[in-house]
Amino acid sequence: MAQHSIELKATARPRAGKGAARQARREGKVPAVIYGDGQSPETIALDYNELWKQVLKGHFTSTVFELDVEGKKSRVIPRDLQVDPVKDQPVHVDFMRIGKDGRIRVEVPVRFINDQLSPGLKRGGVLNIVRHDIEVICPYDHIPAFFEIDLTGLEIGRSIHISAVKLPKDAELTIKDRDFTIATIAGAVKQEEEAPVAAAAAPAEGAAPAAGAEAAKAGAAPAAAKGGAAAPAAKAAAAPAAKKK
């Protein structure tokens, strides 16, 4: 899929370091650096609002931008986006320069379709995603938007490997030594655990009446013994009364 670069304006930041970065943030800008393509690193600053709009669109680190630094243009791709851990706002960006015919390493997201046509999922199975992204090397202007995986006909216990994914002819995997797993369809844990529990509970329920009968017998014995002991005591109490008369 051909990708057109998005223009993003920036200003040169003559000084590097934490102090200069803090100053840029106070001015409503985000500090950044451009590196690669055999050139020296270049420190710049981006307008916060313009940058945030691009981040909110999604796939920021796999999008090609054309940075206009005060008239000097460079085709780049974001390599790292640092965000504030509390405010969740961008605080620094690393951009890598791209040559005109350069190939780049990029992570492409995976999209699953036709989950309703998977017998395994319809019977209560769970899609266990091992890899949400697949890393490939491809031309900067032909970065795939996503890789699509069809779940039609897949049963519980099936695994989906990278060999099932169709790659563009101009893209190659970074992992070439194995047919790695992308996702599996596993059985529902709750259903698998309920059967042994129910089987174990059946004898216990059947034994309850017998246990109750034994308990009843055990409870009756002390009562009889108590009654038997009371008869002699009554006779002994009645004897003095008769003698008094």
197-209 tens-digit pLDDT: 555 555 544 444 5
46-88 tens-digit pLDDT: 999 999 999 999 889 888 899 999 899 999 999 999 998 998 8
User: Are 117 and 155 spatial neighbours (Cβ–Cβ below 8 Å)?
Assistant: no
| CA–CA separation, 136 and 107 (whole Å) | 6
**Token pair for 171:** 């893209």
- The pLDDT score that the predictor gives to residue 237 is 43
CA atoms within 13 A on the CB side of 184: 8
- The pLDDT score that the predictor gives to residue 226 is 44
| CA–CA separation, 132 and 182 (whole Å) | 8
Look at residue 225 and tell me whether its pLDDT is greater than 50.
no
Domains and CATH numbers, the chain: 6-100 (2.40.240.10), 105-190 (2.170.120.20)
Q: Against a cut of 0.75, is the pTM above it? A: no
81-124 tens-digit pLDDT: 999 899 888 999 999 998 766 788 888 999 999 999 999 999 99
Separation of CA 19 from chain center: 36
